[in-house]
Amino acid sequence: MAHGRTAGKKPAEGKIIRSGKDKPLRVQIYKYRWLYLMYLPVFLVMLVFSYIPMAGIVIAFCDYTPFSKGLDFIGLENFEVLFRSSIFWQSVKNTLIISSVNIVLSLSTCVILALLIDEIKTVWFRKAVQSIVYIPHFISWVVVASIFTMILSPQGGLVNAFVTAFGGEPVYFLASPRWWRPMLWIIERWKGIGWGTIVYMAALTAVDQEMIEAATIDGASRLQRVLNVTIPCISPTILVVFIMDLAKILNIFEPVWVLQNAAVMDVSDVIATYVYRFGINNAQYGISTAAGLFKSVISVVLVLIANKLSRKIRGEGILA
């Protein structure tokens, strides 16, 4: 009986029982010190390359050169110059056109390729296909640009060899305002489609196979199973990827920069190349910083809009 009373003994009044969450911060840090230590390099990289450079935003409101003794505050004058520039608005237009088509092509082609790979039942062949389509992702954009410059060259290029073989005239695809954007989209899909399928391949592994079997028993064709079972199951993943792509819609730079030339500047100049040209080449740091700040603000607004749409469609967003 004494043992029973001891087991049921209540803590003395006024005594505070601390839960794990109520432990002092230093105790929590010490407990998970190895996790924090592993995270430290990531934190330092983000601090040095993402957060500290934010102090440079002030340059957008100043007349600044590297040889200036101080920052000459001029208010919104850089933004006024920027917004009056037809070249800047042309770069905004080009950015939206190029990136919007990229997003649509990325979502559609990556989903289709993931579905096709998922249908391959022979394990070795499936792995071979995955490896082949993944490889281009690891090739530098500079190398990719060199490869396609040779392939699309009007003199000895593989594509123009076919064009002339069928009686056509050679076309300099990368120097033609008509063909430059389509070539960019094709090259970007060639390089990025394999990597983009990884997320969807992971999502497809979570699709309930019993639902697919039930649809098969009900007489659904393969296309009907994909449209009515598989796609709805991976639609949350598609929406998340769409929001993440939307956040980067104005950030396109590297593929444009390596494929760009003076002949196609009107259709290829994007915000990032505009910022680079004015900031690095022309040393107009105030205007280029203002353009970069404008791009960042618009990107945040687009993400918030997409997240709000996600809440309406799915009942939840990916942002807090």
Span 233-286, pLDDT tens digits: 888 888 888 888 887 888 889 999 999 998 999 999 999 998 888 887 777 788
pTM assigned to the model: 0.78
What is the structure's pLDDT at 1?
Answer: 45
pLDDT means per 10 residues, the chain with 320 residues, are 48 50 75 88 89 80 75 82 90 93 93 89 88 91 94 88 88 91 94 89 86 84 85 86 83 92 91 86 82 87 81 69
Tabulate helix, strand, coil % of the chain (nearest 5): 75, 0, 25
Q: Token pair of 104, please?
A: 């649509």
- φ/ψ of 63, rounded to 5, equals -95, 100
Q: Position 17: which residue type? A: I
Q: Position 320: which residue type? A: A
Candidates 1.10.3720.10, 3.40.50.2300, 2.60.130.10, 3.90.800.10; correct CATH number of 73-314? 1.10.3720.10
- Residue indicated by tokens 């489609």: 193
What is the structure's pLDDT at 104?
Answer: 93
Spans of all domains in the chain: 73-314
Per-residue model confidence as pLDDT tens digits over 56-70: 788 888 877 777 677
Please state, for a pLDDT cut of 90, what percent of the chain lies above it: 26
Cα 191 to Cα 195: distance, rounded to the nearest angstrom? 8
Task: Say if residue 165 is exposed, middle or buried (CB neighbours under 10 Å; 0-12, 13-18, 19+).
Answer: exposed
268, 180 in Cβ contact below 8 A?
Answer: yes
